[in-house]
């Protein structure tokens, strides 16, 4: 469920604005819902990040596998890191 919600939110908020440069106000408006859900702006980069914690490695890796399917369809692949039950996601080119 989390995967589907995350993918829909990222897709719906970014697909239509991918081809245009956004000003600061537009960035704030489009990304604020994600910031409200625990995402953070990465200082020094045009990227956002979120760290997720799962029960164990199997759940973390399963999540990454499901996200990979959405990423492939969107042709926009995340930068991510996995250590045991933690996954840190970075998405770039949002603005």
Domain ranges in the chain are 2-92
- pLDDT tens per residue across span 43-61: 988 889 999 999 999 999 9
The answer to whether the beta carbons of residues 57 and 85 sit under 8 Å apart is: yes
- Calpha distance 15→13 (Å, rounded): 6
- Calpha distance 20→2 (Å, rounded): 28
The answer to whether the beta carbons of residues 95 and 39 sit under 8 Å apart is: no
- pLDDT tens per residue across span 69-86: 988 888 877 899 999 999
Architecture of domain 2-92: 2-Layer Sandwich (3.30)
């Amino acid at each position: 469920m989390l995967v589907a919600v995350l993918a829909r939110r990222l897709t719906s908020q970014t697909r239509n604005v991918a081809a245009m440069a956004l000003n600061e106000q537009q960035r704030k408006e489009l990304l604020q819902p994600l910031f409200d859900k625990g995402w953070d702006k990465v200082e020094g980069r045009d990227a956002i990040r979120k760290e997720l914690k799962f029960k164990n490695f199997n759940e973390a890796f399963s999540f990454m596998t499901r996200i990979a399917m959405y990423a492939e369809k969107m042709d926009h692949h995340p930068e991510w890191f996995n250590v045991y039950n933690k996954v840190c996601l970075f998405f770039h080119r949002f603005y």
